[in-house]
Structure 1
Amino acid sequence: MTMRREHSADVAATTLRIAVLLESGAIPERVFSYIAEACDDDDPIGDFAARVNVRIRAGVGVADAVEAEGGSWEWVASAWRIATAVGSPVSPALRSMVGVANDAREAANEVRIALSEPASTARLMMWLPAVSVVMGVVLGFNSFVILTTNPIGIACLVLGVGMIVLARWWTRRIVAAAAPSTVVPGLRAELMSIALAGGASPARAQQLVDDVDVGGAAEADETAHILRLSRIAGVPAVDLLRASASAMVAQARTTGRLRATRLATKLLLPIGVCALPAFFLLGVAPMMLSVIASTEVPL
């Protein structure tokens, strides 16, 4: 289950409003109607609430109506569905999800900021070959003419442009691989704690979480380990699961920072292998050819 970066803050704020309205005694079927009526016509939150309200009036369950929005609303729907299944209040479950989502968003933003500097430097270096051509023209060399008429210059142009294209593609692949994951860390453990806090047995809680299909194999193994530890030690699993969710967020933050640190080194490869040779082919080589062409060799 993933969290959309551009709307995650709005989702968390709106979810918190829903939780407050539910705590105040509003029935779930009316909550979204209230939010839609209170928002301006061009407010995306109001548009969201109106769409959900239309589905609810058509007979769709509240959790299903929210889940139909996709993206970050899926984890809200999961919490709602699990809380309803175990017969516990929905608002505490939604507040728990808001906390998990906020922690995950803060961790992702920290990683994104750490990645921005080396990525910006690499993008700037990609312009170096083009700048070298302009500099050659400004300095009085016939760089552009050489690159478009001289056979050697044409070969330099083709190879240089090809290397720039390769460098940009290579750089995008490296930056994309280092980007923070859109998976919300600790979501499975938090949902499991919601089910257990509502009175479900560990087997029932695990079945409910499996049905909503959140987290990967690593999180599933960690959750199973926590449940086993709780059973052996004879202590409630809820606090252990929530502590595990917090630890997963911290781990995601640390892993992301390490990726950002390694990114600067990895980006040296496309710069050294492609960008710098392209600088020579498009900037230095035409200048040299221009000097050679303008030099009269005495017979």
Structure 2
Amino acid sequence: MNRREAPDRNADAVAAVVEAVAVLLDAGLPPRTAWEAVAQHGGHAVATEVASSLKTDPSCARALARAASSDDLRVVAAAWRVAEDAGAPLGHVLRVVAETLREAAEAEREAEVALSGPRATARLMSWLPAGGAVLAVALGTDLAATVASVPGACTLAAGATLMLLGRWWMRRLVRRALRRVPMAGLAEELIAVGLAGGSSVEASVAAARRASDAAGLPWGGDGPALRILRLAESAGAPATELLTASARQRRRSDRAERRRAAAALGVRLMLPLGVCVLPSFLLLAVVPLLLSLVSSTAAVLR
């Protein structure tokens, strides 16, 4: 998803809440009491919503899914549900989830920093044609006379159309680069939670799939996760460690891909700049000035 999360709902804030709940669970508090304590003393809107949902539903997994307003909370809800089904230790699971969310937040911050330059360039260049038109008027272009003539009206209409097209094109490229993708390696982490609770491979995969569907997250466990499980079965290796290592590697690859997309954005912005923005600048600034000069010269010669 591409929307920007509110400050109290981003991955770092959710990770802080999850870690606080994990500490309280390890101290012996029941889940509902832990969420209520974090909501009362932590001042987190996320914990407040979950605690409010728990008043009408004793299941933390369902309460989390109902209160989830971001993918970060949906990840917590899915992990909690798998841990409940498998009997895995919630404190450990929540700490793993918090670490995963912080890695995702760090990757998103890196992408934001890398994209700040191209985004500023796109904003600046998208206003270049309009600035050129203002400059042309300041240099003495008779805008009313230019619009009144057929060539001038066509020139200004074409320039305005190209300017709007260029702005739309550049905004679309920036939005695509900023698009937030589902958390890499989530399926592997959820299956590992089920295995850590003592469930079989088949039961862990089924529980992870159900939890992802219930939380509204895309299921991506039919590819790398299943290959890792087959490898672990054939080699007699612990599948949990292989799944965790694969999830970490996929998150590292996702961070590298985001950096690559940010670097490529600066090059891709050259296309709307050359096709739309610069021709629009010529049509809105240079051509009206030339038409005005030709018109005034013809009037003097007459």
Structure 1-normalised TM-score? 0.90
Which residue identity is paired with 1:155? C
CA contact (8 A) 1:189 1:244 kept: yes
Aligned twin of 1:158: 157
CA contact (8 A) 1:5 1:182 kept: no
Aligned twin of 2:190: 191
**1:203 CA drift (Å):** 0.8
Aligned twin of 1:59: 57
Which residue identity is paired with 1:169? W
**1:188 CA drift (Å):** 1.1
> What does 1:48-127 correspond to in 2, within 5 Å?
48-70=46-68, 71=70, 72-127=72-127
**1:50 CA drift (Å):** 3.3
- What number of residue pairs does the alignment pair up? 292
CA contact (8 A) 1:187 1:245 kept: yes
Aligned twin of 1:232: 234
State the SS of the aligned residue for 1:220. coil
For structure 2, the residue ranges without an aligned partner over 5 or more in a row are none
RMSD value, Cα: 2.1
Which residue identity is paired with 1:195? G
**1:66 CA drift (Å):** 1.1
CA contact (8 A) 2:14 2:46 kept: no
Partners of 2:89 and 2:170 in 1: CA distance: 48
Aligned twin of 1:250: 252
Partners of 1:49 and 1:298 in 2: CA distance: 79
**1:34 CA drift (Å):** 1.1
CA contact (8 A) 1:108 1:180 kept: no
Q: Which runs of 4+ in 1 moved over 6 A?
A: 1-4
CA contact (8 A) 1:185 1:215 kept: no
Aligned twin of 2:15: 12
Aligned twin of 2:277: 275
Residue 207 of structure 2 corresponds to residue 208 of structure 1: yes
Instruction: Write out per-residue CA displacement over residues 249-273 of structure 1, whole angstroms, 9 at most, x where no aligned residue.
Output: 1111111122222222221111111
State the SS of the aligned residue for 2:207. helix
Instruction: Write out per-residue CA displacement over residues 190-223 of structure 1, whole angstroms, 9 at most, x where no aligned residue.
Output: 1111111111111111010111235554x43100
Which residue identity is paired with 2:122? A
CA contact (8 A) 1:3 1:184 kept: no
Residue 20 of structure 2 corresponds to residue 22 of structure 1: no
State the SS of the aligned residue for 1:185. coil
Q: Which moved more, 1:167-176 or 1:276-285?
A: 167-176
**1:5 CA drift (Å):** 4.1
Partners of 1:165 and 1:2 in 2: CA distance: 22
For structure 1, the residue ranges without an aligned partner over 5 or more in a row are none
Instruction: Write out per-residue CA displacement over residues 48-85 of structure 1, whole angstroms, 9 at most, x where no aligned residue.
Output: 33332233222341111111122221111111111111
Which residue identity is paired with 2:34? V
**1:145 CA drift (Å):** 2.7
Change (3 A) 1:78 1:287: same
CA contact (8 A) 1:3 1:183 kept: no
Change (3 A) 1:3 1:211: farther
**1:4 CA drift (Å):** 6.4
State the SS of the aligned residue for 1:68. helix
CA contact (8 A) 1:146 1:286 kept: no
What is the aligned-residue identity percentage? 35
Q: Which moved more, 1:147-156 or 1:281-290?
A: 147-156
Partners of 1:123 and 1:2 in 2: CA distance: 19
Instruction: Write out per-residue CA displacement over residues 157-206 of structure 1, whole angstroms, 9 at most, x where no aligned residue.
Output: 21111111111111122222222433111111111111111111111110
CA contact (8 A) 2:17 2:47 kept: no
